[in-house]
Structure 1
Amino acid sequence: MNKIQVIGIGLDGAAGLPSTLLEQIQRANLLVGSARHLSYFPDYGGQQIVLGELDPAIAQIQAALEQGEKIVILVSGDPLFFGLGRLLLEHFPPELLTFHPHVSAVQLAFNRVKLPWQEAQMISVHGRSLEVLSAALQQGESPIAVLTDSLNTPSAIAAHYLSLDLPILYQFWVCENLGSPEERIQLFTPELLVNQEFDPLNVLLLVRQTPTELALPVQQLPLLGLPDHVFLSFRDRPDLIIKREIRLSILGELALRPAQIVWDIGSGIGAVAIEIARLCPTSQIYAIEKTSMGHHLIQKNCQQLYVRNVHPIEGAAPDILHDLPAPHRVFIGGSGGQLSEILTFSQNVLRPNGVIVLAFTTLEHLSLALHHLQQSKWHYRLLQVNLSRSVALSQYTRFAPLNPVTLVTAYRV
C-alpha cells in the first residue's frame, strides 16, 4: 500500500520546496490541503480535497488509500508541531505516514528576532483557553512562543497579561506572514499592543525583561495599594509576592498609627514594609528577610519607590531580632520553620497596646499559631481573605481567584 506523504509548506509556497517534494506533489493522484496551500499549485491536474471538516476529508483519504492512489497532504510548517500530523496519526497507522517538515513559523520567528529558543515554551491558544499561558506568565517563563487565533489575538493576549497585574515585564514581538513578501516583525509594550490589529497568520513571542525603572513616575503611584507589577521580584519565583488586595487587608488589621516601630518578619521583597512606610512616613519599619536575594530586592524596591524609612535586615528570626528596637506592630509573613519561637519573642518585646498580624496559606501553620496563642492566653481574631480578580479573555472577562490567605490578628488585653 502506498504511503501518505505529509508535506510541510511555508508562505513562500512551491518556491520553498525542494525538487524531490515538488515531484511527489506532481505525481500524486490526490492532493489535500487548505485553499491557500492548494493555490500554490495551480497547474496540478489530479483530484483535490480542500480541508474543511476533518472527518469527511479523512474518509475520502482512506478510500483513496484503499484504491492504491498516491496521496499528498499539504500542511503548514512542521506537521508534528501543533499541526495536522497528530490528528492524522489518530486515523492512520504510523507506517502509512511519511512526514516532510518545513521550517515552522515559530522557528522562523525566533530566528527573525535573533533569539535562542532551545529553552522556549510553546503554547497554542488556537481554539484553546488562556489558562496554560496564564500559568507560564505567572511563573515568569521566557521566552514564550504563542500560536494565536482570531479571538486570542496578540492584542487580546496583551490585554490579558495586563489584567493579571504581574510583577514581571515582557516584550511582545508580533511576527506576521513569516516567510512571505508581506513578512513583518514588530516589537511592542503590552500597553501599546492593546487594540492593534494584525494579519491572522502571526506568531507572538513573549520575552521577559529585567525592569530598570518604573513605568510610571513614583508621584503618579497611589499612596495606598501599590500595583504588584511595580515591585522587583525573585527571578525564579516572580509571583512570590503578597498581592495588593491582601496587603490592604494586612494594613487594616495592623491598625497603624504615626511614629511607630514596625517589624515585617519574612519580608520577602518588602512589599508590605514599603506600603507601611509610604502610608506612615514618620514610622520606622524593619524588613527582616533571611535570604540574600530577598534582602537585595528589598533594597532595590526601596530605592526605586523612594522609600527612606524601611531598614532592610538580612538574617533569620528570631535571632536577628534581639538588637532591634521594641515594636509597636509586628507582621509575620514568613517564619522559616521558627513560628513558635518568633511569636514568643515578639510577644515578649511588643510594646503596650501592640498588635501582631500573621498571614497563613496553609492549615498546618495556622493551627500551630492558634495553639501557641491559646497557650499564651493572647486574644486573637481571624480574617480569611478569599478574593478574585477580573481577567480579560479575548472579548470576555472572567474572575481568577487569588490564593486564599488567613490573617490572624493577636493582641494582649
Structure 2
Amino acid sequence: MVGIGLDGRTLVSADAEIALAEAQILCGSPRHLAHFSEHSALQIPWEDLHQGITVLKHHLTQGYKRIVLLASGDPLFFGIGRLLLSHFAPEILRFYPQVSAVQLAFSRLKIPWQSAQIISIHGRSWENLIPPLKQGVATIAIFTDPMNNVAIIAQVIQELKLPISYQIWVCEWLGSPQEKVQLFSLDEALNYANNSLNIVVLMREPSQLSNPNSLPVLGLSDAVFNGFPDQPGLMTKKEIRSLILGELNLQDGQTIWDVGAGTGTVAIEMARLLPKSAVYAIEKKSIGVQLIHQNCQQLGVKNVNVIAGVAPEIFAELPNPDRVFIGGSGGNLTAILSTLSARLTPGGILVLALATQEHQAMILTWAKQQHWPYHALDVRLSRSLAVGDLTRWHPLNPITLMQLTKPAG
C-alpha cells in the first residue's frame, strides 16, 4: 500500500518509489489512478472496497506478486489498511505511508497535536462526535465526507447546547494547489455548503462572560456557567436545576445550604430567585470554589456565600438552614444526615440528588427511621437533537430526587 499526496506524485520514501515502479497491478480510486495514467501496470479501479478485495484475491491466485494499492495519506490511519489486514496475512503486506491529512492540518494551523482527539465521521455516524464534545475535549480533528460535513458538525455543536464554545477550522484540499484553511463562526459553519475534501479542527475557546441583564429569571443555560476544564459538562443541567428548586419549596428570606455545590449552578439559581435569602455554597475542591466565585461574579450574584471545606465538619461555622440541597456528599452521606437531623430547622426541607440505587435505599431507610416524611422523584429526561433532516432524543443522565421534611414538632 502506497500513500500519496493530493498532487498524486509526492511519495515519502525511495522504497515507495521502487514499489510503485515495479508494480504489475495498480489498484485505487479513479482519482488516484488518474495520476498514473502512463504507468505500464494493469490498472484496476476500485469503486467498491469489498468488490475490490475480491478482485485483488483473484489476481493473487493468477501469479501476480507485485500489486500496489494507492491510498490518500497513511493507509493505517482511519484508512483502508485496517480492511486489508482483515483479509490478508500481515506478512504479505507492506505499507508506505504518506503524511496524513491530520498532520498537514495541524502543521498549517501551527498547533501541537499530541493531545488532540481524532474522530472519523467519514462513512461513519455523526454520533461519534457527541462524547468528545460533551467531555469538552480541547482539540478535536474530524475526518468528514459529503454527507457528514462541516454543516453537520456545526449543527451537532449547536443542538448539544454545550457549556463551552469551539473555534471551527476547515482545512480543504491539503497539500494541493487548491489548499485553503479558514476559520468559521458557528453560524458560518451551519451555512457552509461546500463539500470539498476537508478536515475539520475544533479548538475549545475560553469561556465568554455573559450579560446578566439578558438572562431569564429561571432556567439559566448551561453555557453561561464556567465548568471544570477537564469536564466542562459536569454540572447540574438546567432542567434538573428547575426540578430541584421546585422540590425545595423555597421562600425568600430563608437560609439555604447547597452541599457539594460543584460549580455553583444550583446555588446561583436559588440566589437569583431569592435576593433576600442567604445561600451557602459548600464545596471541598479548590477548583470548584474558584469556579463558584467566577460564576457569581460574571452573573452578578452577591448573596451566595462560598464556603471551602468538607461536610459535615464545615457545618459548625454556618447558621442553621431552612432548606438544604445535597448534590454531592464526598462519601460522607451518613455523617451529613446525622448532623442535619440536628441542624435543619423544624419544618425544614432537605432535597438530595442521587445517582445510585444504593444511596436511594440508604436515604429511604434513614427517613423511615427518623420518621421524616419523604417522597421521591425519578427523573429521566431527554433533549431533542436535530441533525440534518432528522431529530432524535439525546438522554441526560438519570437521577432520583429525594425530598425529606423535618417534622415541626
Identify whether the pair has TM-score above 0.5, normalized to the shorter chain.
yes
C-alpha separation between the residues in 1 aligned to 2:13 and 2:312? 70
Counterparts in 2 of 1:355 and 1:30: CA distance versus 1, 3 Å: same
The amino acid of 1:34's aligned partner reads S
Structure-1 residue corresponding to 2:339: 345
In the alignment, which of 316, 331, 336 is matched to residue 322 of structure 1?
A: 316
SS in 1 for 2:402: strand
Bigger shift: residues 17-26 or 220-229: 17-26
Partner of 1:194: 190
Could you tell me which of 47, 51, 57 is aligned with 2:52?
A: 57
| Secondary structure of the corresponding residue to residue 146 of structure 2 | coil
Deviation at 1:168, TM superposition (A): 2.8
Q: What is the deviation of 1:150?
A: 2.1
Which residue number in structure 2 is paired with residue 114 of structure 1?
A: 110
The one-letter code matched in structure 1 to 2:289 is H
Asked if residue 384 in structure 1 is aligned to residue 375 in structure 2, the reply is no
| Equivalent in the alignment of 1:398 | 392
- Residue equivalent to 1:279: 273
> Tell me, which stretches of 5 or more residues in structure 1 are unaligned?
1-5
Shift of 1:20: 5.5
Structure 1 residue 22: Cα displacement: 4.4
Q: Distance in 2 between matches of 1:199 and 1:23?
A: 35
Does 313-322 or 41-50 show the bigger shift? Answer: 41-50
| Contact persistence 2:345–2:406 (CA under 8 A) | no
Q: Which has the larger displacement, 52-61 or 236-245?
A: 52-61
Match of 1:237 in 2: 231
User: Equivalent of 2:24, from 25, 29, 43?
Assistant: 29
Any residues of structure 2 matched to 1:42-81 within 5 Å, and which?
42-69=37-64, 70-81=66-77
TM-superposed deviation, 1:347:
3.1
1:106–1:145 Cα contact (<8 Å) kept: yes
Equivalent in the alignment of 1:14 = 9
Q: Matched residues in 2 for 1:49 and 1:394: separation?
A: 36
Deviates more, 1:287-296 or 1:124-133: 124-133
* Alpha-carbon distance in structure 2 between the residues aligned to 1:349 and 1:128: 55
Aligned partner of 1:129 in structure 2 is 125
CA gap 1:371/1:68 in 2 versus in 1, 3 angstroms: same
Deviation at 1:341, TM superposition (A): 2.3
SS in 2 for 1:40: helix
TM-score (norm 1): 0.93
CA gap 1:310/1:192 in 2 versus in 1, 3 angstroms: farther
> Residues 80-119 of structure 1: matches in 2 within 5 Å?
80-119=76-115
129-138 or 108-117, which deviates more: 129-138
Q: What is the rounded CA distance, in whole Å, between the counterparts of 2:376 and 2:148 in structure 1?
A: 41
Selected match of 2:241 from 239, 247, 260: 247
Q: Answer yes or no: is the 8 Å Cα contact 1:329–1:356 preserved in 2.
A: yes
Pair 1:210-2:206 in alignment: yes
* Matched-pair contact (CA < 8 Å) for 1:153–1:394: no
Find the aligned partners of 1:192 and 1:222 in 2 and give their Cα distance.
27
The one-letter code matched in structure 1 to 2:329 is S
Please report how far the alpha carbon of residue 17 of structure 1 lies from its aligned counterpart in structure 2 after TM superposition.
Answer: 6.0
| Contact 1:177–1:199 (CA under 8 A) maintained in structure 2 | no
Is residue 2:176 matched to residue 1:180? yes
Q: CA RMSD in A?
A: 1.8
2:163–2:233: 8 Å Cα contact kept in structure 1? Answer: yes
Could you tell me how far apart the structure 2 residues matched to 1:205 and 1:342 are? Answer: 46
Q: CA deviation at 1:219?
A: 2.0
The number of residues matched between the two structures is 406
Residues 222 and 238 of structure 2 are in contact (CA less than 8 Å); yes or no, is this contact kept in structure 1? yes
Name whichever of 136-145 and 221-230 sits farther off.
136-145
Q: Counterparts of 1:125 and 1:279 in 2: how far apart (Å)?
A: 43
Counterpart in 1 of 2:147? Answer: 151
Instruction: Quote how far apart the aligned CAs of 1:342 are.
Output: 1.8
| Further displaced range: 205-214 or 262-271 | 205-214
Q: Find the aligned partners of 1:172 and 1:120 in 2 and give their Cα distance.
A: 14
CA deviation string 1:75-123 (max 9, x = no partner): 0100111111111112222222111100010110111111111122211
Give the one of 361, 371, 396 matched to 2:365. 371
Q: Return the alpha-carbon distance in structure 2 between the equivalents of residues 102 and 15 of structure 1.
A: 8
- Letter paired with 2:31: R
Residue 31 of structure 1: SS of its match in structure 2? Answer: strand
Report the Cα distance in structure 1 between the residues aligned to 2:154 and 2:195, rounded to whole angstroms. Answer: 16
**Partner amino acid for 2:7?**
D
> What CA distance in whole angstroms lies between the structure 1 residues aligned with 2:54 and 2:344?
78
* One-letter identity of the residue aligned with 1:46: A
- SS of residue in 2 equivalent to 1:56: helix
- 1: CA distance, partners of 2:405 / 2:188: 49
2:286 to 277, 282, 292: 292
Quickly say closer, same or farther: Cα 1:309–1:57, change in 2 above 3 A.
same
TM-score normalized with structure 2 length:
0.94
Deviations 1:278-299 (A, max 9, x none): 1122222110111111111100
Q: 1:278 to 1:269 in 2, by over 3 A?
A: same
Once residues 329 and 50 of structure 2 are traced to their aligned partners in structure 1, the CA distance between those partners, rounded to angstroms, is 58
